[in-house]
Chains A and B, each alone.
Chain A
């Protein structure tokens, strides 16, 4: 029923696999290699898990103690250099706040009172409850929220169990609208890692994307290279981000009006015939209708909306066009802002289409991956009832499951009840908007199991908490990455877990055994599974263990070099005019709607990332919290002075629904518009087990009580909350 074509990336066979680039290291033991410079040191190649980028890394153990971790020079993602989170990732191993042993709830949910139990007891309990839920409501009534590659085996168990309800906040709370917008236009999404060719771009346009603070390793490395090259950088952001400070043009846009700017840019490019006419003629569909739809979208029209001077709009549009097709209008990653996000992302896709940058050098390359056959498991049982996150395809262009849809179904019991959640490595209370709704949904459950490494807020509400070993202590699923250069990476343990933590594969397998699903785990040990898959791909598992990463042969990256110029849209072309949107009752060409204004004297709450933290999951890591242990609320310095506030003063934010945030320091700064305030996401922890992070800074999540749902794909636009600043306690 999905009107969109699935992402269709190039997979290469192992016939074209190369050896790893650097052959220097001697054959090693499975316990790692001796460092030639220091015999006390052994090194183990693995890949990082502090975020989803999955950079190849080499960990060093000195005198039996995990000492440091560095980028694997062979790894195309990190090119030998990790980001601060990766470098500080070893702090996850030594984090004194981490979960140590399975826990079972002894008091009311959320009271965080536990009894320590054995793995046997914990898994027996979970399996019994899951079977009871399956018996009463069907296996579909168990839902899994899982983030990251570590969720693979639990997803496998759930599918074998018969539940199709598996979702991650990375879609409806993060990059979903972008995938939808690009799929509607080019037939393919941007993917992760993004297929952005920042390395070769001559003009980089960032719209709300704060690369540098948002530490996606490869992108930041290429961004720095672009700066070094003197590429023209245009940044659109209500806040003078780090990226803005590198820009030739900084556009301090009024929040919520990006689509108006995008339309005005396209209008200028179309009117002045600055677009890549050959590319549009060859690959475009519906250009005339598209151009006609832009009729009123002049820079003068956009000016009062965006606050950006018409001449600056024209100048930046011409700047982009001057460098085409090596102009990259970056699609961003976390793009759930205002509820019009899929259409805004589509406008970004269209602008790239006009500039001819899709499939072109300096725009978007065509990624490829090594074809690693999946393990020969039995087929999964066909669920009796389908996914319930998106009933009757209310959101027709949702390409993945919608977390908030599962939450709604849990609350309503419709179309069928959800009675159990398993949550793997995602702190739903910080990730989903409207915490109160999440908590209400939890109270509908017969079972909430949280598998995590730290006692997060969501773990505090669990019936059973299962402590996972951190990535430095476990094997994990292989990563045959879709990237500029295809490669295969292995995560392997560097040190033993310090307590009774277990790897996710073990948990999934043990649970499956108790659920009578042993047939889906025919392998005894994870290495048996990994070696089987690697060998099935025609590669050497031993070599992969030694090197951590095996490279595939480079593939053509651009249309001009022979990469297939295929657009799996209904028209087979770049859809400047979308008939499928039209058929579904949406604007075939994006149309701007002004954002809802907030209450008078209130500031729009914006949030973003800091380079040393991932989500809300790294704040008890002592190495990373030492870099930043609390956030502060950015307030325009003139506003602050009007309110009698100075940098360092403690305030609280109160949102439009009366929710009062935690105490937080003021950052009175020139680097933000006067009509909004900004918080770095992930702080303001309330879970008592996160002793180190507890109460430090303010949580944007608790202030995001409202959200606007994207009608195309069900994403939750979260930049629609307004706050006032309270100076008294």
Chain B
């Protein structure tokens, strides 16, 4: 080994690149989650082509949650910018080689696509809103009555969702200067991670909104803490309005058209099945990614070692692989076989794993370098 000394001390650069803190991983996680929600909702729309509204959680709660989470993600992204006053510059240009530019424009298109999907099922999701503003219901009905519009909304959500999900990975994957990120596999990997977290989130909502007796005790506890309800029954009375009902559990539980037991029994296994597929693909992509890195140049192998054996290995193996992939896969497998009850646990693990994946990749990626340099 040679002895290297760099006489440079730029804040955020030395001794190890620290350009991105918590904001970017949070944004990448939420972006992926929203992408997953869009793809799941879009695929269902595409496959079901519903003529009447159905209280599928991916259509009712999904788009609203996606809009909210996307806004939180955008806020995180904005907070990361160091020259915030110039943020509008993003929308004066399109830079074809810049994933960031692609992302900026995709994000702009994602909002109407999500809004259209939300509008399609608004009377189911927020009946009180549509009864107060009948015009919303009329627009919604008119959209639903046109299969081509529904198809367009489905395709828009799928295409933009895939775009968004892949973009969150490629944002890192195109930064070849950081050997850990230098792989196009990050695109599909982050997309499938987004899909798995989205399925997990939807499943969690279903579990939380299932009838009191069928909920796991932890869900009761969670609901109680979130809503301060003494018991887990929906409140009598007709307080409505979006502003008062931010909790997805309440959103769904109040839908009059939802026979709850049916929902959990039909939609939940589907979501679990989907989630397991997504997790399996995600695991395969992660394996592919690591295989690619460990068999590429020494630089890339060193970068992968940051995850496999280096300073990020504990977090990577425990939180991303163990708790985030393998354990929920196993749990959900048993849930599907009805050997254990549907619980919140696998969903929360998948969500946690997805978040940690983004943190680990952003941090370890910044620590990876083409020059194995002992900084001074």
User: Which of A627, A628, A648, A670 is the one whose CB lies under 8 Å from B3?
Assistant: A670
Task: Assess whether A647 is interfacial by the CB under 8 Å rule.
Answer: yes
Task: Assess whether A669 is interfacial by the CB under 8 Å rule.
Answer: yes
- Chain A residue contacts of B7, Cβ below 8 A: 627-628
- Chain B residue contacts of A647, Cβ below 8 A: 374, 376
CA separation between A220 and B35, bound complex, in Å?
A: 62
- Chain B residue contacts of A669, Cβ below 8 A: 3
Which residues 630-663 of A have a CB within 8 angstroms of B? 637, 647-648
CA separation between A669 and B2, bound complex, in Å?
A: 10
- Chain A residue contacts of B376, Cβ below 8 A: 647-648, 667
- Chain A residue contacts of B374, Cβ below 8 A: 647
- Chain B residue contacts of A637, Cβ below 8 A: 3
CA separation between A670 and B4, bound complex, in Å?
A: 11
Which residue from chain B places its CB closest to the CB of A626 in the assembled complex? B9
Minimum Cβ distance to chain A for residue B214 (Å): 58
CA separation between A298 and B173, bound complex, in Å?
A: 66
Which residue from chain B places its CB closest to the CB of A669 in the assembled complex? B3
CA separation between A669 and B376, bound complex, in Å?
A: 11
Chain B, residues 1-42, CB within 8 Å of chain A (1/0): the string is: 001000100000000000000000000000000000000000
Minimum Cβ distance to chain B for residue A196 (Å): 29
Which residue from chain A places its CB closest to the CB of B2 in the assembled complex? A670
Minimum Cβ distance to chain B for residue A609 (Å): 16
Which residue from chain A places its CB closest to the CB of B374 in the assembled complex? A647
Chain B, residues 354-376, CB within 8 Å of chain A (1/0): the string is: 00000000000000000000101
Chain A, residues 525-548, CB within 8 Å of chain B (1/0): the string is: 000000000000000000000000
- Chain A residue contacts of B3, Cβ below 8 A: 637, 669-671
CA separation between A637 and B2, bound complex, in Å?
A: 12
CA separation between A647 and B374, bound complex, in Å?
A: 9
CA separation between A415 and B3, bound complex, in Å?
A: 55
CA separation between A670 and B374, bound complex, in Å?
A: 14
- Chain B residue contacts of A648, Cβ below 8 A: 376
- Chain B residue contacts of A670, Cβ below 8 A: 3
Minimum Cβ distance to chain B for residue A613 (Å): 14
CA separation between A628 and B376, bound complex, in Å?
A: 12
CA separation between A667 and B3, bound complex, in Å?
A: 11
Which residue from chain B places its CB closest to the CB of A670 in the assembled complex? B3
CA separation between A402 and B376, bound complex, in Å?
A: 40
Which residues 147-199 of A have a CB within 8 angstroms of B? none
CA separation between A670 and B3, bound complex, in Å?
A: 8
CA separation between A627 and B8, bound complex, in Å?
A: 8
Minimum Cβ distance to chain B for residue A697 (Å): 14
CA separation between A648 and B375, bound complex, in Å?
A: 9
CA separation between A628 and B374, bound complex, in Å?
A: 18
- Chain B residue contacts of A667, Cβ below 8 A: 376
Which residue from chain B places its CB closest to the CB of A646 in the assembled complex? B374
CA separation between A648 and B376, bound complex, in Å?
A: 7
Which residues 212-262 of B have a CB within 8 angstroms of A? none
Which residue from chain A places its CB closest to the CB of B376 in the assembled complex? A647
Which residue from chain A places its CB closest to the CB of B15 in the assembled complex? A648
CA separation between A637 and B3, bound complex, in Å?
A: 10
Minimum Cβ distance to chain B for residue A339 (Å): 34
Minimum Cβ distance to chain B for residue A656 (Å): 29
Minimum Cβ distance to chain B for residue A239 (Å): 14
Minimum Cβ distance to chain A for residue B157 (Å): 52
Minimum Cβ distance to chain A for residue B10 (Å): 11
Minimum Cβ distance to chain A for residue B229 (Å): 55
Chain A, residues 655-697, CB within 8 Å of chain B (1/0): the string is: 0000000000001011100000000000000000000000000
CA separation between A114 and B7, bound complex, in Å?
A: 38
Minimum Cβ distance to chain B for residue A641 (Å): 13
Which residues 74-107 of B have a CB within 8 angstroms of A? none
Minimum Cβ distance to chain B for residue A650 (Å): 14
Which of A628, A648, A671 has the largest count of B CB atoms less than 10 A from its CB?
A648
- Chain B residue contacts of A627, Cβ below 8 A: 7
Minimum Cβ distance to chain B for residue A632 (Å): 8
Minimum Cβ distance to chain A for residue B120 (Å): 60
CA separation between A493 and B32, bound complex, in Å?
A: 63
Minimum Cβ distance to chain A for residue B8 (Å): 10
CA separation between A648 and B3, bound complex, in Å?
A: 13
Which residues 336-351 of B have a CB within 8 angstroms of A? none
- Chain B residue contacts of A671, Cβ below 8 A: 3
Minimum Cβ distance to chain B for residue A79 (Å): 26
Which residue from chain B places its CB closest to the CB of A629 in the assembled complex? B9
CA separation between A499 and B3, bound complex, in Å?
A: 46
Minimum Cβ distance to chain A for residue B253 (Å): 58
CA separation between A727 and B98, bound complex, in Å?
A: 50
Minimum Cβ distance to chain A for residue B375 (Å): 9
Minimum Cβ distance to chain A for residue B13 (Å): 15
Minimum Cβ distance to chain B for residue A665 (Å): 9
CA separation between A637 and B1, bound complex, in Å?
A: 12
Minimum Cβ distance to chain A for residue B288 (Å): 37
Chain B, residues 286-328, CB within 8 Å of chain A (1/0): the string is: 0000000000000000000000000000000000000000000
Which residues 570-624 of A have a CB within 8 angstroms of B? none
Which of A627, A647, A669, A671 has the largest count of B CB atoms less than 10 A from its CB?
A647
Minimum Cβ distance to chain B for residue A416 (Å): 51
Minimum Cβ distance to chain A for residue B210 (Å): 56
- Chain B residue contacts of A628, Cβ below 8 A: 7
CA separation between A422 and B186, bound complex, in Å?
A: 70
CA separation between A637 and B374, bound complex, in Å?
A: 14
Which residue from chain B places its CB closest to the CB of A671 in the assembled complex? B3
CA separation between A627 and B376, bound complex, in Å?
A: 13
Minimum Cβ distance to chain A for residue B89 (Å): 29
Which of B3, B7, B374 has the largest count of A CB atoms less than 10 A from its CB?
B3
CA separation between A670 and B376, bound complex, in Å?
A: 15
Minimum Cβ distance to chain A for residue B334 (Å): 49
Which residue from chain B places its CB closest to the CB of A667 in the assembled complex? B376
CA separation between A647 and B376, bound complex, in Å?
A: 7
CA separation between A515 and B7, bound complex, in Å?
A: 51
CA separation between A628 and B8, bound complex, in Å?
A: 10
Minimum Cβ distance to chain A for residue B9 (Å): 8
Chain A, residues 263-298, CB within 8 Å of chain B (1/0): the string is: 000000000000000000000000000000000000
Minimum Cβ distance to chain A for residue B75 (Å): 36
Which residues 422-453 of A have a CB within 8 angstroms of B? none
CA separation between A637 and B376, bound complex, in Å?
A: 14
Minimum Cβ distance to chain B for residue A300 (Å): 34
CA separation between A568 and B175, bound complex, in Å?
A: 71
Minimum Cβ distance to chain B for residue A149 (Å): 31
CA separation between A667 and B375, bound complex, in Å?
A: 11
CA separation between A215 and B374, bound complex, in Å?
A: 27
CA separation between A671 and B7, bound complex, in Å?
A: 17
CA separation between A669 and B7, bound complex, in Å?
A: 15
Minimum Cβ distance to chain A for residue B86 (Å): 26
CA separation between A2 and B329, bound complex, in Å?
A: 95
Minimum Cβ distance to chain A for residue B348 (Å): 40
CA separation between A523 and B222, bound complex, in Å?
A: 90
CA separation between A669 and B374, bound complex, in Å?
A: 12
Which residue from chain B places its CB closest to the CB of A632 in the assembled complex? B376
Minimum Cβ distance to chain A for residue B234 (Å): 61
Which residues 97-124 of B have a CB within 8 angstroms of A? none
CA separation between A670 and B2, bound complex, in Å?
A: 10
Which residue from chain B places its CB closest to the CB of A648 in the assembled complex? B376
Minimum Cβ distance to chain A for residue B5 (Å): 8
CA separation between A163 and B262, bound complex, in Å?
A: 108
Which residue from chain B places its CB closest to the CB of A627 in the assembled complex? B7
Minimum Cβ distance to chain B for residue A498 (Å): 27
Which residue from chain B places its CB closest to the CB of A637 in the assembled complex? B3
Known A-B contacts: A628-B7, A647-B376, A670-B3. Give 7 more (CB < 8 A): A627-B7, A637-B3, A647-B374, A648-B376, A667-B376, A669-B3, A671-B3
Task: Provide 10 A-B residue pairs closer than 8 Å at the C-beta atoms, listed in order of the A residue.
Answer: A627-B7, A628-B7, A637-B3, A647-B374, A647-B376, A648-B376, A667-B376, A669-B3, A670-B3, A671-B3
List chain B positions with a Cβ less than 8 A from chain A. Answer: 3, 7, 374, 376
Of all A-B residue pairs in the complex, the 7 with the closest CB atoms, nearest first, are A670-B3, A669-B3, A647-B376, A647-B374, A627-B7, A648-B376, A628-B7
